[in-house]
């Protein structure tokens, strides 16, 4: 019986030893993925911002500018691209909608982002675009990879349609979570006018005929939870200008937008809670279960060897009773 139990424990020890690398290197890449049907939204605000009034072409100080960003997964498009890409793909249809303090639209820029569901590397396919213009991304956008490392990454900027480094600046604590702080500076760059303008009759083509151009710069900051690769907080010091041309009435430039854009408090709380939950799931695959299996394996092996040794130990002979003398007949 002891030998049978020893063999069972030995089999369990071998299974635990094999399970640890399987969980980390086989199950993790296949289970830790962004859902293809994910939908999320984010509201950011810039209080005390400067905004251009297109009616008067004058920059004015306003109480608040609101930016609503939405990301919606296109499941059918993802499945179609997966058949040719040969890997799990996520297709996000994004929209950045900017509105002034009166609720009126300032700009509306759609975007299609196609990327690997696990690594977050861009996947190039038909439809990849920003504001209807085809683009070819090089680098991440919106989310860092699972198990983010302490290093610089290449980050895609939708305004300039270019990629540049976003620098790791150190480890910090945000709302009780250990996070990596990243920062990217985009220098003044000429960028296209949004295809949807806030004033009827004004189009990118009509602005281009006046000789006026649009310029943009920003300092982008993210606080990223490294296990999930999800930003728990982000902000930008954002500036836009219109320069030259007859549209400005002889002025060399005018501010189109200037403000410090931050996540709204209720969305920060929701994001932190969601990241805490997902962090536990990722750690279960990458740390808790593999380490537990590695610790349990030697324990089961030692118990198996102990039972085997007990089964081989010679047993003490049973005590014998002294023989009683046979009766003698007379």
Model confidence pLDDT, tens digit, residues 178-219: 999 999 999 999 999 999 988 888 888 988 999 999 999 999
Phi, psi of 231 (to 5 degrees): -70, 125
- Residue 110 domain-assigned (yes or no): yes
Residue 126's pLDDT is: 92
Task: Answer with the one of 263, 278, 302 that is the final residue of a domain.
Answer: 263
User: 120, 145 in Cβ contact below 8 A?
Assistant: yes
Residue 315's pLDDT is: 57
Residue 64's pLDDT is: 95
Label the pairing between strands 129-130 and 50-53.
unpaired
Intervals of the chain under pLDDT 50: 330
Domain containing residue 104: 32-263
Q: How far apart are CA 275 and CA 215, in angstroms?
A: 35
Q: How far apart are CA 162 and CA 139, in angstroms?
A: 10
Residue 160's pLDDT is: 96
Residues 6+ apart with CB under 8 A from 319: none
Whether 197 and 211 map to the same domain: the answer is yes
Whether 119 and 81 map to the same domain: the answer is yes
Whether 38 and 15 map to the same domain: the answer is no
- Residue 15 domain-assigned (yes or no): yes
- Residue 328 domain-assigned (yes or no): no
Instruction: Count how many domains the chain has.
Output: 2
- Verdict on whether the full-model pTM lies above 0.85: yes
- Residue 326 domain-assigned (yes or no): no
- Residue 320 domain-assigned (yes or no): no
- How many residues are there in the chain? 330
Q: How far apart are CA 53 and CA 55, in angstroms?
A: 5
């Amino acid at each position: 019986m002891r030998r049978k139990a020893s063999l069972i424990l030995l089999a369990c020890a071998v299974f635990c030893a094999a399970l640890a690398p399987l969980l980390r290197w086989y199950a993790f890449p296949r289970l830790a993925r962004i859902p293809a049907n994910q939908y999320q939204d984010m509201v950011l605000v810039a209080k005390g911002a400067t905004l251009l009034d297109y009616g008067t072409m004058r920059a004015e100080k306003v109480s608040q500018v609101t930016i609503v960003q939405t990301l919606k997964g296109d499941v059918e498009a993802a499945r179609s691209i997966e058949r040719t890409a040969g890997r799990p793909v996520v297709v996000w249809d994004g929209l950045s909608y900017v509105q002034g303090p009166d609720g009126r639209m300032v700009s509306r820029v759609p975007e299609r982002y196609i990327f690997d569901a696990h690594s977050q590397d861009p996947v190039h396919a038909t439809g990849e675009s920003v504001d209807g213009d085809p683009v070819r991304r090089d680098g991440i956008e919106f989310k860092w990879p699972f198990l983010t490392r302490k290093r610089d990454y290449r980050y895609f900027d939708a305004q300039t349609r270019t990629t540049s480094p976003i620098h790791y600046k150190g480890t910090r604590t945000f709302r009780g979570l250990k996070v990596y702080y990243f920062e990217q500076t985009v220098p003044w760059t000429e960028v296209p006018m949004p295809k949807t303008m806030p004033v009827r009759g004004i189009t990118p083509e009509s602005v281009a005929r006046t000789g006026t151009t649009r310029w943009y710069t920003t300092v982008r900051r993210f606080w990223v939870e490294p296990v999930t690769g999800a930003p728990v907080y982000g902000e930008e010091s954002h500036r836009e200008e219109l320069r030259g041309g007859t549209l400005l009435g002889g002025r060399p430039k005018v501010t189109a937008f200037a403000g410090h854009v931050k996540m709204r408090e209720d969305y920060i709380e929701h994001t932190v809670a969601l990241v805490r939950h997902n962090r536990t799931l990722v750690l279960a695959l990458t740390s808790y279960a593999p380490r537990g299996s590695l610790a349990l394996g030697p324990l089961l092996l030692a118990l198996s060897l102990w039972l085997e040794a007990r089964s081989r130990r010679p047993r003490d002979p049973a005590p014998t009773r002294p023989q009683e003398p046979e009766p003698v007949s007379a």
